[in-house]
Structure 1
Amino acid sequence: MSTIIPPHLYLWIFCEDCILYIFSLVVLLLAAYYFSKLPRKPHPLRLYGYSYHNGPHEWPRHFPASAGCKQSPINVDSARAVRLDSRASCRPLLWRNRECLPNAYTMLNDGRKVALIGTWAAPNMVPEVTGGPLGSAVYRLVGMHFRWGANDEWGGEHTLDNRSFPLELQMLLIRQDFATPKDALASKEGNSMTMVSYFFKIAARDNPYLDAVVLNLGRIRRPGAKHCLPPFPLDWLAPPFSSRFFAYVGSLSEPPCAEVVIWILRFTPQLHISSRQLHQFRILLSADGPITRNSRPVQLLWGRKVFLYK
Protein backbone atom coordinates (compact mmCIF):
# COMPACT_ATOMS: atom_id res chain seq x y z
CA MET A 1 0.00 0.00 0.00
CA SER A 2 1.58 3.33 -1.13
CA THR A 3 2.05 6.16 1.32
CA ILE A 4 0.33 9.39 0.46
CA ILE A 5 2.49 12.47 1.11
CA PRO A 6 0.43 15.43 2.24
CA PRO A 7 0.61 18.49 -0.07
CA HIS A 8 1.95 20.72 2.69
CA LEU A 9 4.97 18.39 3.03
CA TYR A 10 5.81 18.92 -0.67
CA LEU A 11 5.70 22.64 -0.01
CA TRP A 12 8.01 22.24 2.98
CA ILE A 13 10.55 20.22 0.94
CA PHE A 14 10.43 22.81 -1.85
CA CYS A 15 10.99 25.64 0.61
CA GLU A 16 13.95 23.79 2.17
CA ASP A 17 15.55 23.40 -1.28
CA CYS A 18 15.00 27.09 -2.03
CA ILE A 19 16.52 28.12 1.29
CA LEU A 20 19.55 25.87 0.69
CA TYR A 21 19.99 27.26 -2.82
CA ILE A 22 19.76 30.87 -1.65
CA PHE A 23 22.16 30.18 1.22
CA SER A 24 24.70 28.61 -1.16
CA LEU A 25 24.37 31.55 -3.55
CA VAL A 26 24.94 34.05 -0.75
CA VAL A 27 28.04 32.13 0.40
CA LEU A 28 29.45 32.15 -3.15
CA LEU A 29 28.79 35.86 -3.56
CA LEU A 30 30.43 36.66 -0.22
CA ALA A 31 33.45 34.52 -1.12
CA ALA A 32 33.76 36.22 -4.51
CA TYR A 33 33.60 39.65 -2.84
CA TYR A 34 36.21 38.64 -0.25
CA PHE A 35 38.68 37.31 -2.80
CA SER A 36 38.16 40.34 -5.06
CA LYS A 37 39.44 42.54 -2.22
CA LEU A 38 42.61 40.53 -1.67
CA PRO A 39 45.78 42.17 -3.08
CA ARG A 40 46.81 40.56 -6.33
CA LYS A 41 50.33 40.26 -7.64
CA PRO A 42 50.28 41.71 -11.15
CA HIS A 43 51.41 39.61 -14.08
CA PRO A 44 55.10 40.44 -14.77
CA LEU A 45 54.20 41.83 -18.21
CA ARG A 46 51.57 44.10 -16.63
CA LEU A 47 53.53 45.23 -13.57
CA TYR A 48 54.65 48.28 -15.50
CA GLY A 49 54.15 49.57 -18.98
CA TYR A 50 53.05 52.66 -20.86
CA SER A 51 49.27 52.43 -20.60
CA TYR A 52 47.00 54.45 -18.30
CA HIS A 53 46.83 51.79 -15.59
CA ASN A 54 50.57 50.97 -15.47
CA GLY A 55 52.31 53.93 -17.11
CA PRO A 56 55.14 56.11 -15.74
CA HIS A 57 52.79 58.00 -13.41
CA GLU A 58 52.08 54.68 -11.64
CA TRP A 59 55.67 53.43 -11.40
CA PRO A 60 56.51 54.96 -7.99
CA ARG A 61 53.89 52.68 -6.39
CA HIS A 62 55.98 49.60 -7.19
CA PHE A 63 59.40 51.13 -7.90
CA PRO A 64 60.28 53.86 -5.35
CA ALA A 65 63.55 54.72 -7.13
CA SER A 66 61.52 56.17 -10.01
CA ALA A 67 60.69 59.13 -7.77
CA GLY A 68 64.38 59.96 -7.22
CA CYS A 69 66.29 63.13 -8.12
CA LYS A 70 68.61 61.63 -10.77
CA GLN A 71 66.04 60.19 -13.12
CA SER A 72 66.16 59.73 -16.88
CA PRO A 73 65.40 60.73 -19.58
CA ILE A 74 65.90 64.50 -19.62
CA ASN A 75 65.65 67.46 -21.94
CA VAL A 76 69.11 68.72 -22.87
CA ASP A 77 69.35 72.50 -22.90
CA SER A 78 72.36 72.94 -25.15
CA ALA A 79 72.87 76.58 -24.13
CA ARG A 80 73.32 75.58 -20.48
CA ALA A 81 75.52 72.54 -21.05
CA VAL A 82 79.03 72.69 -19.61
CA ARG A 83 81.40 72.60 -22.57
CA LEU A 84 84.48 70.41 -22.38
CA ASP A 85 87.22 69.94 -24.94
CA SER A 86 87.72 66.18 -24.90
CA ARG A 87 91.26 66.60 -26.20
CA ALA A 88 92.31 69.03 -23.46
CA SER A 89 90.35 68.08 -20.34
CA CYS A 90 89.90 64.33 -20.73
CA ARG A 91 90.36 61.40 -23.03
CA PRO A 92 87.94 61.06 -25.94
CA LEU A 93 85.70 58.03 -26.11
CA LEU A 94 87.63 54.97 -27.16
CA TRP A 95 85.85 51.93 -28.62
CA ARG A 96 87.29 48.43 -28.74
CA ASN A 97 86.29 45.19 -30.48
CA ARG A 98 83.65 46.83 -32.66
CA GLU A 99 85.01 44.92 -35.62
CA CYS A 100 84.34 41.58 -33.90
CA LEU A 101 81.15 40.00 -35.20
CA PRO A 102 78.96 38.14 -32.69
CA ASN A 103 78.00 34.54 -33.22
CA ALA A 104 74.40 35.77 -33.50
CA TYR A 105 71.92 38.33 -32.22
CA THR A 106 68.78 37.38 -30.34
CA MET A 107 65.96 39.82 -31.05
CA LEU A 108 63.34 39.87 -28.29
CA ASN A 109 59.94 41.45 -27.76
CA ASP A 110 59.93 41.73 -23.97
CA GLY A 111 56.39 43.10 -23.96
CA ARG A 112 57.55 46.71 -23.85
CA LYS A 113 60.33 47.17 -26.37
CA VAL A 114 62.56 45.47 -28.95
CA ALA A 115 65.87 44.29 -27.52
CA LEU A 116 68.93 42.95 -29.34
CA ILE A 117 71.34 40.76 -27.39
CA GLY A 118 74.54 39.51 -28.99
CA THR A 119 76.65 36.50 -28.08
CA TRP A 120 80.37 36.53 -28.83
CA ALA A 121 82.78 33.65 -29.10
CA ALA A 122 85.00 34.92 -26.28
CA PRO A 123 84.82 37.65 -23.58
CA ASN A 124 87.74 39.53 -25.15
CA MET A 125 85.70 39.94 -28.35
CA VAL A 126 82.75 41.80 -26.79
CA PRO A 127 82.60 45.50 -27.82
CA GLU A 128 83.77 47.91 -25.11
CA VAL A 129 84.02 51.65 -24.51
CA THR A 130 86.10 53.81 -22.19
CA GLY A 131 87.21 57.45 -21.86
CA GLY A 132 85.18 60.64 -21.93
CA PRO A 133 82.81 60.82 -18.94
CA LEU A 134 83.66 57.18 -18.16
CA GLY A 135 87.25 58.01 -17.23
CA SER A 136 89.53 54.98 -17.11
CA ALA A 137 86.69 52.54 -16.41
CA VAL A 138 85.88 50.08 -19.20
CA TYR A 139 82.28 49.17 -20.06
CA ARG A 140 81.21 46.00 -21.87
CA LEU A 141 78.25 45.82 -24.26
CA VAL A 142 75.19 43.90 -23.00
CA GLY A 143 72.56 44.76 -25.59
CA MET A 144 70.57 47.40 -27.44
CA HIS A 145 66.93 48.42 -27.49
CA PHE A 146 64.64 50.86 -29.29
CA ARG A 147 62.23 53.56 -28.08
CA TRP A 148 59.45 54.88 -30.31
CA GLY A 149 56.15 56.75 -30.19
CA ALA A 150 52.65 56.77 -31.64
CA ASN A 151 53.61 58.95 -34.62
CA ASP A 152 56.64 60.12 -36.56
CA GLU A 153 56.99 63.37 -34.62
CA TRP A 154 58.20 61.93 -31.32
CA GLY A 155 59.21 58.63 -29.75
CA GLY A 156 62.77 58.95 -28.49
CA GLU A 157 63.02 59.52 -24.76
CA HIS A 158 65.59 62.32 -24.59
CA THR A 159 64.94 65.68 -26.19
CA LEU A 160 67.37 68.38 -27.35
CA ASP A 161 66.24 71.95 -26.70
CA ASN A 162 62.71 70.52 -26.37
CA ARG A 163 62.95 68.93 -29.80
CA SER A 164 61.75 65.34 -30.03
CA PHE A 165 63.06 62.54 -32.22
CA PRO A 166 60.99 59.70 -33.73
CA LEU A 167 63.28 56.87 -32.59
CA GLU A 168 66.04 56.38 -30.03
CA LEU A 169 68.46 53.47 -30.01
CA GLN A 170 69.97 52.82 -26.58
CA MET A 171 73.07 50.69 -26.07
CA LEU A 172 73.44 49.22 -22.57
CA LEU A 173 76.95 48.58 -21.29
CA ILE A 174 78.06 47.51 -17.81
CA ARG A 175 81.36 48.14 -16.07
CA GLN A 176 83.72 45.28 -16.75
CA ASP A 177 84.08 44.34 -13.08
CA PHE A 178 80.44 43.20 -13.07
CA ALA A 179 79.47 39.85 -14.53
CA THR A 180 75.82 40.68 -15.29
CA PRO A 181 73.47 43.69 -15.34
CA LYS A 182 71.87 42.28 -12.19
CA ASP A 183 75.22 42.55 -10.40
CA ALA A 184 75.64 46.12 -11.63
CA LEU A 185 72.18 47.05 -10.33
CA ALA A 186 72.83 45.40 -6.98
CA SER A 187 75.97 47.51 -6.49
CA LYS A 188 73.90 50.73 -6.48
CA GLU A 189 77.01 52.56 -7.71
CA GLY A 190 76.25 55.63 -9.79
CA ASN A 191 78.59 54.58 -12.59
CA SER A 192 77.97 50.83 -12.77
CA MET A 193 76.29 51.17 -16.18
CA THR A 194 76.41 53.42 -19.19
CA MET A 195 73.81 54.02 -21.88
CA VAL A 196 74.86 55.28 -25.30
CA SER A 197 71.94 56.75 -27.24
CA TYR A 198 71.60 57.38 -30.97
CA PHE A 199 68.76 59.41 -32.47
CA PHE A 200 66.92 59.02 -35.76
CA LYS A 201 65.09 61.30 -38.17
CA ILE A 202 62.53 60.42 -40.81
CA ALA A 203 63.85 59.96 -44.35
CA ALA A 204 62.04 59.43 -47.63
CA ARG A 205 63.82 56.14 -48.32
CA ASP A 206 64.29 53.03 -46.21
CA ASN A 207 67.56 52.69 -44.31
CA PRO A 208 69.04 49.39 -45.56
CA TYR A 209 71.20 49.08 -42.44
CA LEU A 210 68.00 48.62 -40.41
CA ASP A 211 66.68 45.82 -42.61
CA ALA A 212 68.16 43.09 -40.41
CA VAL A 213 65.91 44.30 -37.60
CA VAL A 214 62.86 45.74 -39.36
CA LEU A 215 62.29 42.84 -41.76
CA ASN A 216 62.13 40.42 -38.83
CA LEU A 217 59.88 42.37 -36.46
CA GLY A 218 56.88 40.34 -37.62
CA ARG A 219 58.55 37.23 -36.17
CA ILE A 220 58.45 38.69 -32.64
CA ARG A 221 55.03 40.32 -32.77
CA ARG A 222 53.75 38.74 -29.55
CA PRO A 223 55.23 39.54 -26.11
CA GLY A 224 57.97 37.13 -25.11
CA ALA A 225 58.72 36.12 -28.71
CA LYS A 226 62.36 35.73 -29.78
CA HIS A 227 64.12 35.37 -33.11
CA CYS A 228 67.75 34.63 -33.90
CA LEU A 229 69.40 37.02 -36.36
CA PRO A 230 72.57 36.25 -38.31
CA PRO A 231 75.60 38.34 -37.28
CA PHE A 232 76.08 41.81 -38.72
CA PRO A 233 78.51 44.64 -37.86
CA LEU A 234 77.59 46.77 -34.86
CA ASP A 235 78.37 49.84 -36.96
CA TRP A 236 75.26 49.18 -39.06
CA LEU A 237 73.08 50.30 -36.17
CA ALA A 238 75.42 52.32 -33.98
CA PRO A 239 78.36 54.05 -35.73
CA PRO A 240 81.40 54.79 -33.53
CA PHE A 241 82.22 58.31 -32.35
CA SER A 242 84.75 59.86 -29.98
CA SER A 243 83.52 63.44 -29.49
CA ARG A 244 80.54 65.78 -30.10
CA PHE A 245 78.18 64.25 -27.55
CA PHE A 246 76.37 65.17 -24.34
CA ALA A 247 76.73 63.29 -21.05
CA TYR A 248 75.05 63.34 -17.65
CA VAL A 249 74.44 61.13 -14.61
CA GLY A 250 71.02 59.52 -14.49
CA SER A 251 69.02 56.33 -14.17
CA LEU A 252 67.53 53.50 -16.13
CA SER A 253 64.58 55.00 -17.98
CA GLU A 254 62.32 52.06 -17.12
CA PRO A 255 61.78 50.20 -13.84
CA PRO A 256 63.51 49.66 -11.55
CA CYS A 257 64.76 53.15 -12.58
CA ALA A 258 67.96 52.61 -10.57
CA GLU A 259 70.21 55.68 -10.51
CA VAL A 260 73.32 53.84 -11.70
CA VAL A 261 73.76 55.12 -15.26
CA ILE A 262 76.11 57.50 -17.06
CA TRP A 263 74.24 58.60 -20.18
CA ILE A 264 76.05 59.47 -23.41
CA LEU A 265 73.82 61.15 -26.00
CA ARG A 266 74.82 61.38 -29.66
CA PHE A 267 72.21 63.80 -31.07
CA THR A 268 74.07 64.68 -34.27
CA PRO A 269 74.39 63.52 -36.90
CA GLN A 270 71.05 61.74 -36.75
CA LEU A 271 70.58 58.34 -38.30
CA HIS A 272 67.84 57.68 -40.85
CA ILE A 273 64.67 55.64 -40.79
CA SER A 274 61.69 55.79 -43.14
CA SER A 275 58.12 56.22 -41.98
CA ARG A 276 57.32 52.76 -43.34
CA GLN A 277 60.13 51.18 -41.31
CA LEU A 278 59.15 52.99 -38.12
CA HIS A 279 55.56 51.83 -38.50
CA GLN A 280 56.74 48.21 -38.26
CA PHE A 281 57.73 48.77 -34.62
CA ARG A 282 54.18 49.83 -33.75
CA ILE A 283 52.65 46.52 -34.86
CA LEU A 284 54.40 44.72 -31.98
CA LEU A 285 52.19 43.67 -29.10
CA SER A 286 52.36 44.03 -25.34
CA ALA A 287 50.09 42.47 -22.74
CA ASP A 288 47.89 45.56 -23.15
CA GLY A 289 47.75 45.62 -26.96
CA PRO A 290 49.92 47.24 -29.66
CA ILE A 291 53.11 48.93 -28.44
CA THR A 292 52.40 52.35 -29.92
CA ARG A 293 54.77 54.04 -27.48
CA ASN A 294 57.42 52.97 -24.98
CA SER A 295 59.07 56.23 -23.93
CA ARG A 296 59.11 57.76 -20.49
CA PRO A 297 58.49 61.53 -20.27
CA VAL A 298 61.51 63.72 -19.56
CA GLN A 299 62.40 64.18 -15.89
CA LEU A 300 63.59 67.19 -13.92
CA LEU A 301 67.35 67.76 -13.66
CA TRP A 302 67.27 68.73 -9.96
CA GLY A 303 70.56 70.61 -10.24
CA ARG A 304 72.45 68.03 -12.28
CA LYS A 305 74.94 69.27 -14.88
CA VAL A 306 74.91 68.21 -18.50
CA PHE A 307 78.27 68.16 -20.25
CA LEU A 308 79.02 68.71 -23.93
CA TYR A 309 82.17 66.93 -25.07
CA LYS A 310 83.36 68.81 -28.16
Structure 2
Amino acid sequence: MSNMALPKLKLIFTLFFLQAFLTSPTSIQAAPANSDIFREYIGAEFNNVKFSDVPINPNVEFHFILSFAIDYDPSGSSPTNGKFNVFWDSDNLSPSQVSSIKSQHSNVKVALSLGGDSVNSGSAYFKPSSIDSWVSNAVSSLTSIIQQYNLDGIDIDYEHFSADPDTFSECIGRLITTLKNNGVISFASIAPFDDDQVQSHYLALWKSYGHLIDYVNFQFYAYDQGTTVSQFINYFKTQSSNYNGGKVLASFSTDGSGGLSPENGFFTACHRLKSEQQLHGIFVWSADDSKKIGFRYEKQSQALLATPR
Protein backbone atom coordinates (compact mmCIF):
# COMPACT_ATOMS: atom_id res chain seq x y z
CA MET A 1 0.00 0.00 0.00
CA SER A 2 1.42 3.41 -0.92
CA ASN A 3 1.75 6.22 1.60
CA MET A 4 -0.70 8.26 -0.54
CA ALA A 5 -3.50 5.82 0.35
CA LEU A 6 -3.22 6.31 4.13
CA PRO A 7 -4.67 9.85 4.31
CA LYS A 8 -7.56 8.74 2.10
CA LEU A 9 -8.30 5.80 4.40
CA LYS A 10 -8.12 8.09 7.43
CA LEU A 11 -10.51 10.51 5.77
CA ILE A 12 -12.96 7.76 4.84
CA PHE A 13 -12.83 6.35 8.38
CA THR A 14 -13.34 9.81 9.90
CA LEU A 15 -16.34 10.51 7.66
CA PHE A 16 -17.81 7.10 8.44
CA PHE A 17 -17.37 7.70 12.18
CA LEU A 18 -18.94 11.16 11.99
CA GLN A 19 -21.91 9.84 10.03
CA ALA A 20 -22.45 7.03 12.55
CA PHE A 21 -22.22 9.48 15.44
CA LEU A 22 -24.59 12.02 13.92
CA THR A 23 -27.22 9.44 13.05
CA SER A 24 -27.06 7.51 16.34
CA PRO A 25 -30.25 7.86 18.45
CA THR A 26 -28.35 9.08 21.52
CA SER A 27 -26.95 12.09 19.71
CA ILE A 28 -30.24 13.40 18.34
CA GLN A 29 -32.43 12.86 21.39
CA ALA A 30 -32.04 14.97 24.49
CA ALA A 31 -30.80 12.68 27.24
CA PRO A 32 -33.23 12.43 30.16
CA ALA A 33 -31.86 13.88 33.37
CA ASN A 34 -32.66 13.64 37.04
CA SER A 35 -33.84 16.76 38.82
CA ASP A 36 -34.06 17.90 42.44
CA ILE A 37 -37.58 19.37 42.29
CA PHE A 38 -39.76 18.60 45.32
CA ARG A 39 -43.35 19.91 45.26
CA GLU A 40 -46.15 19.68 47.81
CA TYR A 41 -49.80 20.70 47.79
CA ILE A 42 -50.93 22.55 50.91
CA GLY A 43 -54.00 24.21 52.38
CA ALA A 44 -56.99 22.35 50.94
CA GLU A 45 -58.15 20.66 54.12
CA PHE A 46 -58.10 23.52 56.64
CA ASN A 47 -56.31 21.61 59.39
CA ASN A 48 -54.07 24.54 60.35
CA VAL A 49 -50.95 23.34 58.54
CA LYS A 50 -48.38 26.12 58.01
CA PHE A 51 -45.46 26.43 55.59
CA SER A 52 -43.13 26.46 58.60
CA ASP A 53 -44.41 23.03 59.73
CA VAL A 54 -42.99 21.33 56.63
CA PRO A 55 -39.31 20.27 56.68
CA ILE A 56 -37.34 21.93 53.87
CA ASN A 57 -34.07 20.41 52.68
CA PRO A 58 -31.76 23.22 51.48
CA ASN A 59 -30.38 20.99 48.71
CA VAL A 60 -33.60 20.68 46.68
CA GLU A 61 -35.75 23.12 44.75
CA PHE A 62 -38.91 23.24 46.88
CA HIS A 63 -42.32 24.31 45.57
CA PHE A 64 -45.34 24.74 47.82
CA ILE A 65 -48.60 24.61 45.82
CA LEU A 66 -51.54 26.39 47.43
CA SER A 67 -54.78 24.45 46.97
CA PHE A 68 -56.95 25.85 45.48
CA ALA A 69 -57.89 28.99 43.57
CA ILE A 70 -61.26 28.31 41.91
CA ASP A 71 -63.38 30.37 39.51
CA TYR A 72 -66.49 30.01 41.65
CA ASP A 73 -68.22 32.61 43.80
CA PRO A 74 -66.93 32.82 47.41
CA SER A 75 -69.73 30.55 48.66
CA GLY A 76 -68.60 27.88 46.16
CA SER A 77 -72.07 27.51 44.70
CA SER A 78 -71.69 28.70 41.10
CA PRO A 79 -68.92 29.15 38.49
CA THR A 80 -67.73 32.67 37.67
CA ASN A 81 -66.20 32.31 34.18
CA GLY A 82 -62.57 32.84 35.09
CA LYS A 83 -63.00 35.18 38.07
CA PHE A 84 -60.90 33.29 40.63
CA ASN A 85 -61.26 33.33 44.39
CA VAL A 86 -59.02 31.90 47.10
CA PHE A 87 -60.31 28.62 48.55
CA TRP A 88 -57.23 27.52 50.53
CA ASP A 89 -56.63 28.06 54.25
CA SER A 90 -55.63 31.69 53.88
CA ASP A 91 -55.61 32.29 57.66
CA ASN A 92 -52.59 30.00 58.02
CA LEU A 93 -51.23 30.46 54.49
CA SER A 94 -51.42 34.23 54.09
CA PRO A 95 -49.39 36.68 51.97
CA SER A 96 -47.17 37.51 54.94
CA GLN A 97 -46.51 33.82 55.57
CA VAL A 98 -45.59 33.31 51.91
CA SER A 99 -43.08 36.16 52.17
CA SER A 100 -41.72 34.80 55.44
CA ILE A 101 -41.06 31.24 54.21
CA LYS A 102 -39.46 32.54 51.00
CA SER A 103 -37.20 34.93 52.90
CA GLN A 104 -36.11 32.15 55.28
CA HIS A 105 -35.44 29.61 52.51
CA SER A 106 -33.87 30.82 49.26
CA ASN A 107 -34.74 27.47 47.58
CA VAL A 108 -38.52 27.85 48.17
CA LYS A 109 -41.03 29.01 45.57
CA VAL A 110 -44.81 29.12 46.03
CA ALA A 111 -47.47 28.46 43.41
CA LEU A 112 -51.25 28.20 43.37
CA SER A 113 -53.31 25.42 41.84
CA LEU A 114 -56.46 26.02 39.83
CA GLY A 115 -59.63 23.99 40.15
CA GLY A 116 -59.21 20.82 42.16
CA ASP A 117 -61.75 18.06 42.53
CA SER A 118 -64.46 19.75 44.56
CA VAL A 119 -65.89 22.98 45.91
CA ASN A 120 -68.50 23.31 48.64
CA SER A 121 -68.99 19.48 48.66
CA GLY A 122 -69.79 19.43 44.91
CA SER A 123 -67.52 18.91 41.91
CA ALA A 124 -65.54 21.95 40.71
CA TYR A 125 -66.25 22.32 36.98
CA PHE A 126 -64.27 24.07 34.28
CA LYS A 127 -67.13 26.02 32.73
CA PRO A 128 -66.16 29.00 30.53
CA SER A 129 -68.82 31.15 28.85
CA SER A 130 -66.41 31.78 25.97
CA ILE A 131 -62.68 31.46 25.46
CA ASP A 132 -62.01 35.20 25.22
CA SER A 133 -64.10 36.20 28.24
CA TRP A 134 -62.71 33.39 30.43
CA VAL A 135 -59.09 34.21 29.55
CA SER A 136 -59.63 37.93 30.15
CA ASN A 137 -61.23 37.31 33.56
CA ALA A 138 -58.68 34.67 34.54
CA VAL A 139 -55.66 36.82 33.65
CA SER A 140 -57.06 39.74 35.62
CA SER A 141 -58.19 37.85 38.73
CA LEU A 142 -55.15 35.56 38.95
CA THR A 143 -52.67 38.39 38.39
CA SER A 144 -54.25 40.15 41.36
CA ILE A 145 -54.03 37.06 43.63
CA ILE A 146 -50.50 36.13 42.49
CA GLN A 147 -49.19 39.63 43.12
CA GLN A 148 -51.00 39.94 46.47
CA TYR A 149 -49.49 36.65 47.67
CA ASN A 150 -46.05 37.09 46.01
CA LEU A 151 -46.40 33.79 44.13
CA ASP A 152 -44.14 32.30 41.46
CA GLY A 153 -46.22 29.93 39.35
CA ILE A 154 -49.51 28.18 38.65
CA ASP A 155 -50.64 24.56 38.52
CA ILE A 156 -53.67 23.38 36.53
CA ASP A 157 -55.75 20.77 38.38
CA TYR A 158 -59.23 20.90 36.86
CA GLU A 159 -60.77 17.43 37.08
CA HIS A 160 -64.35 18.01 35.85
CA PHE A 161 -65.28 19.69 32.58
CA SER A 162 -68.26 21.44 31.03
CA ALA A 163 -66.22 22.28 27.93
CA ASP A 164 -64.58 20.25 25.17
CA PRO A 165 -60.81 19.55 25.11
CA ASP A 166 -60.04 22.21 22.49
CA THR A 167 -61.77 24.93 24.51
CA PHE A 168 -59.87 23.84 27.64
CA SER A 169 -56.61 23.83 25.71
CA GLU A 170 -57.14 27.35 24.32
CA CYS A 171 -58.28 28.83 27.64
CA ILE A 172 -55.46 27.36 29.71
CA GLY A 173 -52.83 27.74 27.00
CA ARG A 174 -53.62 31.44 26.48
CA LEU A 175 -53.72 31.99 30.25
CA ILE A 176 -50.25 30.49 30.76
CA THR A 177 -48.90 32.36 27.71
CA THR A 178 -50.18 35.71 28.95
CA LEU A 179 -49.07 35.28 32.57
CA LYS A 180 -45.58 34.24 31.44
CA ASN A 181 -45.30 37.02 28.85
CA ASN A 182 -46.40 39.56 31.46
CA GLY A 183 -43.75 38.29 33.91
CA VAL A 184 -46.45 37.37 36.45
CA ILE A 185 -45.31 33.73 36.71
CA SER A 186 -42.03 31.95 36.00
CA PHE A 187 -43.36 28.37 35.75
CA ALA A 188 -46.53 26.38 35.11
CA SER A 189 -47.56 22.79 35.70
CA ILE A 190 -50.49 20.49 34.98
CA ALA A 191 -51.92 17.74 37.22
CA PRO A 192 -53.70 15.11 35.10
CA PHE A 193 -54.52 11.52 36.06
CA ASP A 194 -55.46 8.33 34.26
CA ASP A 195 -59.09 8.95 33.31
CA ASP A 196 -60.31 9.15 29.72
CA GLN A 197 -62.09 12.49 30.01
CA VAL A 198 -59.31 14.07 32.07
CA GLN A 199 -56.59 12.81 29.73
CA SER A 200 -58.42 13.98 26.60
CA HIS A 201 -58.44 17.55 27.95
CA TYR A 202 -54.85 17.62 29.19
CA LEU A 203 -53.41 15.88 26.15
CA ALA A 204 -55.10 18.47 23.90
CA LEU A 205 -53.47 21.17 26.03
CA TRP A 206 -50.12 19.38 25.88
CA LYS A 207 -50.28 19.02 22.10
CA SER A 208 -50.81 22.76 21.56
CA TYR A 209 -49.05 24.33 24.55
CA GLY A 210 -46.75 21.67 26.03
CA HIS A 211 -43.70 23.84 25.33
CA LEU A 212 -44.98 26.31 27.96
CA ILE A 213 -45.60 23.69 30.66
CA ASP A 214 -42.62 23.15 32.96
CA TYR A 215 -43.79 20.18 35.05
CA VAL A 216 -46.36 17.41 34.76
CA ASN A 217 -47.67 16.63 38.26
CA PHE A 218 -49.15 13.32 37.18
CA GLN A 219 -51.42 11.96 39.92
CA PHE A 220 -50.01 8.43 40.16
CA TYR A 221 -51.87 8.05 43.47
CA ALA A 222 -55.13 7.99 41.48
CA TYR A 223 -54.22 4.47 40.34
CA ASP A 224 -55.49 1.54 42.42
CA GLN A 225 -54.42 1.09 46.00
CA GLY A 226 -51.88 -1.72 46.13
CA THR A 227 -50.02 -0.64 42.99
CA THR A 228 -46.71 -2.55 42.82
CA VAL A 229 -43.27 -1.17 42.04
CA SER A 230 -43.23 -2.74 38.55
CA GLN A 231 -46.76 -1.44 37.81
CA PHE A 232 -45.71 2.04 38.94
CA ILE A 233 -42.66 1.99 36.66
CA ASN A 234 -44.88 0.93 33.75
CA TYR A 235 -47.42 3.67 34.53
CA PHE A 236 -44.59 6.19 34.73
CA LYS A 237 -43.18 5.18 31.35
CA THR A 238 -46.66 5.23 29.75
CA GLN A 239 -47.37 8.75 30.98
CA SER A 240 -43.88 9.96 30.08
CA SER A 241 -44.68 8.79 26.56
CA ASN A 242 -48.10 10.53 26.62
CA TYR A 243 -46.51 13.79 27.81
CA ASN A 244 -43.48 13.32 25.59
CA GLY A 245 -40.63 15.69 26.38
CA GLY A 246 -42.24 16.81 29.66
CA LYS A 247 -40.84 16.61 33.18
CA VAL A 248 -43.25 14.01 34.54
CA LEU A 249 -42.86 13.90 38.33
CA ALA A 250 -43.27 10.80 40.51
CA SER A 251 -45.99 11.18 43.14
CA PHE A 252 -47.61 9.65 46.18
CA SER A 253 -50.40 10.57 48.54
CA THR A 254 -50.30 10.68 52.34
CA ASP A 255 -54.08 10.36 52.68
CA GLY A 256 -53.97 6.62 51.97
CA SER A 257 -56.10 6.97 48.84
CA GLY A 258 -54.24 4.87 46.28
CA GLY A 259 -51.25 4.30 44.06
CA LEU A 260 -47.84 3.07 45.21
CA SER A 261 -47.37 4.11 48.83
CA PRO A 262 -44.04 4.81 50.56
CA GLU A 263 -44.68 1.75 52.72
CA ASN A 264 -45.05 -0.49 49.65
CA GLY A 265 -42.06 0.59 47.60
CA PHE A 266 -42.47 4.15 46.28
CA PHE A 267 -38.87 4.98 47.11
CA THR A 268 -37.64 1.72 45.58
CA ALA A 269 -39.32 2.80 42.33
CA CYS A 270 -37.78 6.29 42.61
CA HIS A 271 -34.28 4.86 43.10
CA ARG A 272 -34.79 2.76 39.99
CA LEU A 273 -35.96 5.79 37.96
CA LYS A 274 -33.05 7.80 39.30
CA SER A 275 -30.56 5.13 38.21
CA GLU A 276 -32.08 5.40 34.72
CA GLN A 277 -31.80 9.22 34.75
CA GLN A 278 -35.60 9.56 34.66
CA LEU A 279 -36.45 10.97 38.09
CA HIS A 280 -37.49 14.52 37.22
CA GLY A 281 -38.73 15.20 40.74
CA ILE A 282 -41.32 14.14 43.33
CA PHE A 283 -44.55 15.71 44.50
CA VAL A 284 -46.87 14.90 47.39
CA TRP A 285 -50.57 15.23 48.07
CA SER A 286 -50.63 16.71 50.67
CA ALA A 287 -48.99 18.56 53.56
CA ASP A 288 -52.39 18.68 55.27
CA ASP A 289 -52.42 14.87 55.54
CA SER A 290 -48.70 14.51 56.29
CA LYS A 291 -48.85 16.71 59.36
CA LYS A 292 -50.17 13.93 61.58
CA ILE A 293 -47.25 11.61 60.72
CA GLY A 294 -44.56 14.26 61.16
CA PHE A 295 -43.78 14.72 57.44
CA ARG A 296 -41.53 11.64 57.49
CA TYR A 297 -41.99 10.91 53.79
CA GLU A 298 -41.32 14.52 52.81
CA LYS A 299 -37.95 14.21 54.55
CA GLN A 300 -37.23 10.91 52.80
CA SER A 301 -38.25 12.27 49.38
CA GLN A 302 -36.04 15.32 49.67
CA ALA A 303 -33.07 13.31 50.95
CA LEU A 304 -33.36 11.03 47.91
CA LEU A 305 -33.55 13.99 45.51
CA ALA A 306 -30.64 15.78 47.17
CA THR A 307 -28.31 12.76 46.95
CA PRO A 308 -26.14 12.55 43.85
CA ARG A 309 -26.62 9.32 41.92
Q: Work out which of the two has the higher radius of gyration on C-alpha atoms and give 1 or 2.
A: 1
Task: Provide the TM-score with structure 2 as the length reference.
Answer: 0.28
Q: Which has the higher contact order (CA 8 A, sep 6+)?
A: 1
